[in-house]
């Protein structure tokens, strides 16, 4: 579904990703770990085609097509969606109206209301402006709802669990385990919590703009929990990256 | 109020304090065409929120040039309100004659003077004590004959404890038509009454507009005075004035402006808080396109204890040749008054655009959604059915009618 080949990405002339490759197969869920500032969000932005994230070299393939040069909106219409880590506020645009629009343009129609319901987004929130006055956890759920309302083939979740309380983590986790079925996903996370429900097939550890280590998500998570990212650094040395 | 005709004649040459000065001699005084309520009139009225197809079921007042073309009070509200030509009210009620020209000075400038020298035309609306009208009262002022000065004088009395929504649409027959609209409006809001007065205006590049409005609020009276202008106007100048006379009165004056072409608009809002605990809020959201120039003058004066006032102006610039100029003035004469203002003028945020594009909207779609969001109608305090219809009108304006 998604293949990233030796990707180098710069933000404002600073090289952040320095040769990232990974492949997510049809219906596979992958997870990305990594310390703050290692380039995880940058990778997500490069995949969706955010214009501030300049691809210096390397290629991105999606659904059999080279999308490296495609604009962000076209990639979205091809079936890539994202839940942003830090989305902007949209004054004057009601959450309900935006969701309805995303849903209707992707053949989801009224079914977006189910998504809203399952994510425990209230009627009151639907009538509010997108992200205006939302709490951290509300923003995350609102992002998830938008990302799913387009019925995507590939969904990228950038820290969907940060700042979410335990109860809502449970809710999000269970809902995602159902709604990711049949889709490919790339999940950026710090917590193992959300993974309990999701059974990712592979984890990639991003350190300093390169994939330092990859493998079984549970094993890697356990090592990170125990030894921190130092372990991965050693791993990178061992692999001679 | 008695007017002095000699002073009026003198005032005929007096330019307004602000805005482009017009030569009244360049316009026609009388309608030259036989007025007809045809499909064009109906369609254009609808574009300013007045649905003439529902004229028989909604309370409606339609004036074309200086002719009252239609007037009816919704059946269920008969006995709750009085709606009649102002001329008729002046003949019938001595107290209306007393109120006439009380809140707007006929000597203020050439436009008020011209208006005062003409036989009065416009409506008188009285909402009787304690009556609550949950359906809007719609009025339309339509300029028909090319080059005409349409001179209107409306007077509204909301009696104690009454509640009403009034929507007035002003427009004209043809988009390129020349003309001048002078609209004098005097609004008396009695203790505890609530009034929502919403104007939707649509003009053209050769049309000039000089509304003159005065509002007085008595104890605990609350008024939303809303002005929506969409598109192109040759020149526009207005500075509606509100006096919060009674304790605990509240005024919210909101402008939603989408200005294009080479429009010149000088809009103001002037509130004077004289009663304890008075609240005044002036809100403007304006989008400037092409070579449009907008000046926003907000002024709040507080001379009463615990008064509060706020002026806010948000401008969105969609062209490098456009201009938005904001002039907020706050004057406080009380230690315990709180007056604030804020203004922000900018372009569409790239972050917001990219966010929406990441959801699959094209750049153009994202822009129009953001502009529509910017012209948010929620400050107008409208009931949901009116809010929806005004939203639709704004959507149409953004799409270019
Ligand atoms: N829009 C941006 N502008 C400037 N610097 C950025 C931007 N996005 C990311 N960076 C920089 O790139 C590096 C990686 O950031 P990011 O991808 O957000 O890391 P992570 O998501 O792993 O925490 C950081 O040093 C960050 O400051
Ligand atoms: Mg990040």
Of the pLDDT bands very low, low, confident and very high (cuts 50, 70, 90), residue B81 is very high
Which domain covers residue A9, as residue numbers? Answer: 2-239
Contact B370 A73 (CB under 8 A): no
Host H or E run for residue B399: helix B384-399
Q: Tell me what percent of the residues of chain B surpass a pLDDT of 70.
A: 100
The total domain count for chain A is 1
Band (pLDDT 50/70/90 cuts) for residue A237 is low
d(Cα B48, Cα B63) in Å, to the nearest integer?
14
Residues B152 and B192 in one domain: yes
User: What mean pLDDT comes out for the span B144-171?
Assistant: 96
Share of chain B above pLDDT 90, in %: 83
**For B378, which residue in chain A has the nearest alpha carbon?**
A92
Name chain A contacts of B357, Cβ cutoff 8 Å: 71-73, 76
Sort B11 into a burial class: Cβ within 10 Å, 0-12 / 13-18 / 19+: buried
**Does residue B380 register a pLDDT over 70?**
yes
Cβ proximity of B115 and B146 under 8 Å: no
Interface touch B373/A91, C-beta < 8 Å: yes
A90 touches chain B (CB under 8 A): yes
A22: domain CATH number is 3.40.50.300
Between residues B344 and A195, which one has the greater pLDDT?
B344
Q: Is 70 exceeded by the pLDDT of residue A239?
A: no
Give me the DSSP letters along A71-118: -HHHHHHHTEEEE-SSPPPEEEEEHHHHHHHHHHHTT-GGGHHHHHHH
Q: From the list A84, A88, A146, which residue is nearest B349 (CB)?
A: A88
- The rounded Å distance from CA A111 to ligand 2 centre is 30
Ligand 1 surroundings by CB, under 6 angstroms = A 11-12, 16, 34, 36-42, 52
d(CA B104, CA B199): 18
Q: How confident is the model at residue A19 (pLDDT cuts 50, 70, 90)?
A: very high
pLDDT at A241 over 50: no
pLDDT in tens, B184-216: 999 999 999 999 999 999 999 999 999 999 999
From the list A51, A88, A146, the residue facing B359 with the nearest CB is A146
Tell me the pairing of strands A53-62 and A2-11: antiparallel
* A82 CB within 8 Å of a chain B CB: yes
Residue B392 contacts A where some CB pair is shorter than 8 Å = no
pLDDT band (50, 70, 90) for residue A238: low
Judged by CB atoms closer than 8 Å, whether chains meet at A72 and B359 is answered as: no
Question: What single-letter DSSP state applies at residue B26?
Answer: G
Residue predicted with more confidence, A171 or B217? B217
Nearest atom within ligand 1 for CA of residue A35? 22
Q: By mean pLDDT, which of A51-65, A140-154, A225-239, B112-126 is the weakest?
A: A225-239
| B358 to chain A, closest Cα gap in Å | 5
Same domain, B287 and B370: no
Same domain, B28 and B148: yes
Rounded average pLDDT over A165-190: 91
Instruction: Judge whether A51 is closer than 8 Å to chain B, CB to CB.
Output: yes
Q: Are residues B175 and B304 in the same domain?
A: yes
Nearest C-alpha in B relative to A87: B355
Q: B268 and B135, same structural domain?
A: yes
- The yes-or-no verdict on residue B285 having pLDDT over 50 is yes
In this structure, the answer to whether residues B188 and B279 fall within a common structural domain is yes
Q: State the pLDDT at residue B100.
A: 98
Q: ipTM of the assembly?
A: 0.95
Name the residue range of residue B102's domain. Answer: 5-350
Domain boundary among B332, B350, B368: B350
Which residues in chain B have their CB less than 8 angstroms from residue A50's CB? Answer: 354, 358
| Same domain? B304 vs B346 | yes
In A, minimum Cα distance to B371 occurs at: A92
| B315 and B355 housed in the same domain | no
- A73 and chain B in contact, CB less than 8 A: yes
Provide the pLDDT confidence category of residue B75 given band limits of 50, 70 and 90: confident
Q: Is the pLDDT of residue A148 over 80?
A: yes
Residue whose CA lies nearest to ligand 1 atom number 17: A39
For A209-230, the pLDDT digits (tens) are 999 989 999 888 888 888 888 7
Q: Tell me: do B262 and B228 sit in the same domain.
A: yes
Q: Is the dihedral of CA B243, B217, B68, B135 positive or negative?
A: positive
The pLDDT tens digits for A100-141 are 999 999 988 889 999 999 999 999 999 999 999 999 889 999
Query: How many other C-beta atoms lie within 10 A of the C-beta of residue B356?
Result: 27
Q: Is B375 an interface residue toward A (CB < 8 Å)?
A: yes
Q: A103 — alpha (psi -120 to 50), left (phi > 0) or beta?
A: alpha
- Is the domain of B101 the same as that of B27? yes
Tens digits of residue pLDDT in B355-375: 999 999 999 999 999 999 999
pLDDT at A236: 63
Contact A84/B at CB under 8 A: yes
Question: In terms of pTM, does the model score above 0.90?
Answer: no
The tally of domains found in chain B comes to: 2
* Residues in chain A closer than 8 A to B376 (CB atoms): 91-92
Percent of chain A residues past pLDDT 90, beyond the cut: 74
Residue among A51, A87, A105 minimizing CB distance to B360: A105
- Among A15, A37, A188, A212, which residue has the most ligand 1 atoms within 8 Å of its CB, making it the best to mutate? A37
Closest chain A C-alpha to B174 CA, distance in angstroms? 32
Cβ pair B359:A106 closer than 8 A: no
B396: pLDDT strictly greater than 80: yes
Q: How crowded is the C-beta side of B178, counted as CA atoms within 13 Å? A: 9
Does A129 contact B at CB distance below 8 Å? yes
| Whole-number percent of chain A with pLDDT over 70 | 97
Least CB–CB distance from B357: residue in A72, A92, A150 = A72
| B194/chain A closest Cα distance in angstroms | 25
Residues B12 and B55 in one domain: yes
Beta-carbon separation of B351 and A88 below 8 A: yes
H helices of chain A, in order, are 40-48, 72-78, 95-105, 112-118, 123-126, 136-149, 166-179, 195-198, 217-227, 230-239
Looking at the structure, do residues B229 and B278 belong to the same domain, yes or no? yes
Q: How far is the CA of A77 from the centre of ligand 2 (A)?
A: 24
């Amino acid at each position: 579904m998604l293949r990233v080949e030796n990707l180098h990405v710069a933000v404002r002339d600073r090289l952040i990703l320095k040769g990232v490759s990974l492949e997510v197969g049809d219906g596979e869920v992958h997870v990305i770990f990594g310390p703050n500032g290692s380039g995880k969000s940058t990778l997500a932005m490069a995949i969706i085609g955010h214009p501030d994230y300049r691809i210096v070299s390397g290629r991105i393939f999606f659904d059999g097509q080279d999308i490296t040069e495609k604009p962000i909106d076209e990639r979205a219409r091809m079936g890539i969606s994202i839940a942003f880590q830090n989305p902007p506020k949209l004054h004057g645009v009601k959450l309900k109206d935006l969701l309805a629009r995303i849903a209707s343009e992707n053949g989801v129609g009224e079914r977006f209301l189910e998504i809203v319901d399952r994510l425990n987004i209230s009627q009151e929130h639907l009538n509010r402006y997108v992200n205006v006055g939302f709490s951290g956890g509300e923003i995350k759920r609102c992002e998830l709802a938008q990302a799913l309302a387009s019925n995507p083939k590939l969904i990228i979740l950038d820290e969907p669990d940060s700042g979410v309380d335990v109860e809502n983590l449970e809710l999000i986790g269970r809902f995602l385990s159902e709604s990711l079925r049949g889709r490919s996903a790339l999940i950026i996370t710090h917590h193992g919590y959300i993974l309990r429900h999701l059974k990712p097939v592979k984890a990639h550890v991003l350190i300093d703009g390169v994939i330092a280590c990859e493998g079984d998500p549970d094993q890697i998570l356990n090592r990170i929990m125990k030894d921190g990212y130092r372990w991965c650094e050693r791993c990178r040395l061992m692999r001679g990256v | 109020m008695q007017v002095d005709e000699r002073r009026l004649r003198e005032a005929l040459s007096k330019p307004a304090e602000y805005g482009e000065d017009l030569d009244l001699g360049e316009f026609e005084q009388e309608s030259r065409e036989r007025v007809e309520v045809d499909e064009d009139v109906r369609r254009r009225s609808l574009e300013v929120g007045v649905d003439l197809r529902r004229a028989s079921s909604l309370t409606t007042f339609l004036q074309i040039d200086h002719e009252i073309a239609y007037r009816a009070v919704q059946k269920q509200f008969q006995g709750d309100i009085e709606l009649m030509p102002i001329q008729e009210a002046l003949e019938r009620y001595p107290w209306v004659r007393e109120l006439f020209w009380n809140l707007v000075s006929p000597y203020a400038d050439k436009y008020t003077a011209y208006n005062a020298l003409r036989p009065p035309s416009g409506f008188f609306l009285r909402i009787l004590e304690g009556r609550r009208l949950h359906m809007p009262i719609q009025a339309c002022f339509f300029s028909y004959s090319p080059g005409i000065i349409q001179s209107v004088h409306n007077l509204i009395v909301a009696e104690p404890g009454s509640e009403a929504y009034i929507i007035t649409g002003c427009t004209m027959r043809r988009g390129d038509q020349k003309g001048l609209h002078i609209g004098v409006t005097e609004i008396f809001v009695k203790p505890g009454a609530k009034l929502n007065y919403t104007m939707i205006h649509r003009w053209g590049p050769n049309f000039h507009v000089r509304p003159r409005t005065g509002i007085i609020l008595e104890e605990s009276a609350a008024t939303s005075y809303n002005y929506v202008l969409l598109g192109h106007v040759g020149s526009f100048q207005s500075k509606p004035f509100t006096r919060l006379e009674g304790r605990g009165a509240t005024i919210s004056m909101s402008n939603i402006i989408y200005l294009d072409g080479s429009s010149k608009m000088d809009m103001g809002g002037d509130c004077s808080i004289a009663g304890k605990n008075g609240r005044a809020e002036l809100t403007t959201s304006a989008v400037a396109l092409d070579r449009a120039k907008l000046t926003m003058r907000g002024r709040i004066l507080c001379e009463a204890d615990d008064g509060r006032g706020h002026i806010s102006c948000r401008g969105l610039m969609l062209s490098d040749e456009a201009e938005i100029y904001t002039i907020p003035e706050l004057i406080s004469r009380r230690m315990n008054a709180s007056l604030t203002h804020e203004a922000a003028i900018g372009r569409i945020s790239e972050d917001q655009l990219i966010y929406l594009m990441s959801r699959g909207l094209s750049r153009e779609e994202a822009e129009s959604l953001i502009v529509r969001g910017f012209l948010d109608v929620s400050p107008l305090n409208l009931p949901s059915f009116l809010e929806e219809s005004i939203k639709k009108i704004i959507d149409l304006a953004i799409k270019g009618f």
